[in-house]
Structure formats: C-alpha cells, structure tokens
Amino acid sequence: MKFSKRLLIVLLVAVISTALIVLEKFKMPLNIFLWRYIFDAGHIPLFGVISIAFLGISQTFWERRFANPMIHYIIAFIFAGLLGLVTEVIQYFTPRDADLWDIINDGIGAICFLGLYFTFDRRLTGSGVFLSRKLKYIIRLAVVILGLVAMMPTINWIGAYLSRNIRFPVICNFESNWEQKFVFTNNASLSIVPSPEYFADSIGNNVGRIDFNKNGQPNFMIVEPYPDWTGYDNLSFSIFSENPETINIELQINDRQYNKNNENRFNKLLSINPGLNKITVPLKEITNAPKNRQLDMHKISLIALSLAQPDSNITIYLDNFRLK
C-alpha cells in the first residue's frame, strides 16, 4: 500500500509536532542528576527522528528539483538544527533553561540518524552516489561512536549511581572517584588527601580535607546520597579539627519534601573539639526533626555541614559517612 504525498507530509509533520510537544511538555519525574542527563541525552534520538522527518518532507516536496540526493540530507540537517536553535531561544524566555549542549545534542542526533539512514537509503541507487559495503560499515561505526561519545555524561552518571548503590550503607568515605560526583562545597574547597596518621578512625587510604572560608556561610554537601535509610539505627561519621578551639558546625539533612524552610528538615549544632570527633546521630532523631511532619527516611536527598560566618579560615578532615 502506497501513501499519497499529502498523507505522507501530514504524517511527517505529525512526527515533528509530537516530538516538539514531548520536548516542551515532558517533565522529569524527579529533579535528580541522572534524570537531568537522561533528559538532555533524549535530545539525540528526538532530533534524530525530527531530522528523518525533515528528510522525508524534502524528498517528497523537492524530489525533482534536486537530482543530487545529498541535497535533501543537507536540507534535513539544516532544518533540524534551526528548529533546535529556535526551541532553545524560546526556552530562554520561559522558566525552562536554555542550554548550548542541548543544541549540540540536537545536531549530533541529526547527524547520527541521517548518517545511519544514508547507508540504507534505496533512493541512492541509480543516482550516481555509490557506497561500497566497506564505506557503509565505516559510516555506521562512526555514527555509533559519535552517539556513544555524546552519551558519555549520562553513562558516567549511571556508573556513579550504580557505585553509590553498591557501596551503601557507606555513604561517603572519599575512596571512590564516583562518589565525588555527589560531593559539593560552597565558599569552601575540598581536597582528597591521604589519611593523616592522627586520623585513627579512617578505615581507608583517603579522607576529605575541607577548607572553610571565613566569608559567607561555607558548607560541605553530599547531594543525593542513597535515599532509603530505613532499617538502620544511626548515621555516623568522623571529623578531625585542626582548630585549637571548639567550633560549631551545623549538620543538616533534607528529604525530597524539603521546602527551604529550616523547620522542615533536620538541623543539629555539633560542637567539634580539637582533634578527632566521632559523630553518631540516631535516625529516630532525624525522622522526628521537622516541626509538622516526619522526615521521609525513604527519600533522603542531602547531607550538609555548615559554618555560620566563621571569624577565620577553618580546616577540618571528614571521613566514614555511613549508616549502622
């Protein structure tokens, strides 16, 4: 059964429209790193499909005008690229973020899908464009490599989450490069250093050295630790302080329901003495911390250590964040 040109155009336009609606209306189920990268990587197949639709439109409308079939591929790539650019420009004026990498992924998707389709395109027969079997395999291999390279950020995050899940109930002990993707500082710097001799509590080779700046409210954060803390009794970790005097550090723990109200999370002021401090916090205390609800121990989203406007730069060493 052959489609009429009019019906074919309607179907191709419907494909493009559906793809754009998905891009505009789809919302990530969770605002977590992995979903953000999966969503960004989704531009590759999405605009790959769009480019093939534009190719079909060009081949249908301008089949007689352009005898060289390569022109249609160029037209499809240009239109897909322009559509990606326009989409990001529009998003710049909306609550959604415009991102240069989305435009790059749009172009990569178009190149991959058009390149792969090119090696199977029967319209090339008799057109003067000849692809040997070897050249076809080279093009397909190049397309696969390009697609994998573009997907590497997402693949890396998948590896980070798998490592995080396997290592649990260890949350952070500075022994894995993967866990560093979940660790951040603000007005402070993090260095992974060999465990000092006086850090007798360390069970690995490394600890985290945190240099807190005296400006602002410096903090250390573990974002998106393994979320399900049920079945455990205590959170424990160690802090070694080089400061000659006792310092106060606030421990903060959020779940996914946290709404930026300090009373809606766990807050505890820790008195850190000079030398090694072993911290143990009962999970029941964390659960009952919010004022009008219980913290959801299935959905923990953040562990933070903060200093409130210290008078001077302060250095501490951290290790062995884990549940027991």
Mean pLDDT by 10 residues, the chain (324 residues): 53 61 54 75 85 85 75 90 82 64 86 90 71 88 92 90 93 90 92 78 78 87 94 94 89 90 90 92 94 91 87 88 95
CA gap 50, 44 in Å, rounded = 10
Residue with structure tokens 């219980």? 294
Do 242 and 273 touch, CB atoms closer than 8 A?
A: no
How many residues can be counted in the chain? 324
Do 17 and 46 touch, CB atoms closer than 8 A?
A: no
Q: Ramachandran region of residue 173, left (φ > 0), alpha (ψ -120 to 50) or beta?
A: alpha
Q: Which residues, 6+ apart, have CB-to-CB distance to 211 below 8 Å?
A: 188, 189, 191, 313, 314, 315
pTM for this model (two decimals): 0.79
Strands 300-306 and 275-282 come out as unpaired
3-state secondary structure the chain: CCCCHHHHHHHHHHHHHHHHHHHHHCCCCCCCHHHHHHHHHCHHHHHHHHHHHHHHHHHHHCCCCCCCCHHHHHHHHHHHHHHHHHHHHHHHCCCCCCCHHHHHHHHHHHHHHHHHHHCCCHHHCCCCCCCCHHHHHHHHHHHHHHHHHHHHHHHHHHHHHHHHHHHCCEEECCCCCHHHHHEEEECEEEEEEECCCCCCCCCCCEEEEEEECCCCCCEEEEECCCCCCCCCCEEEEEEEECCCCCEEEEEEEEECCCCCCHHHCEEEEEEECCEEEEEEEEHHHHHCCCCCCCCCCCCEEEEEEECCCCCCCEEEEEEEEEEC
Phi, psi of 70 (to 5 degrees): -65, -30
Architecture of domain 172-323: Sandwich (2.60)
pLDDT (0 to 100) of residue 25: 54
List, by residue range, all CATH 2.60.120.430 domains of the chain: 172-323
CA gap 158, 152 in Å, rounded = 10
pLDDT (0 to 100) of residue 222: 95
CA gap 276, 200 in Å, rounded = 8
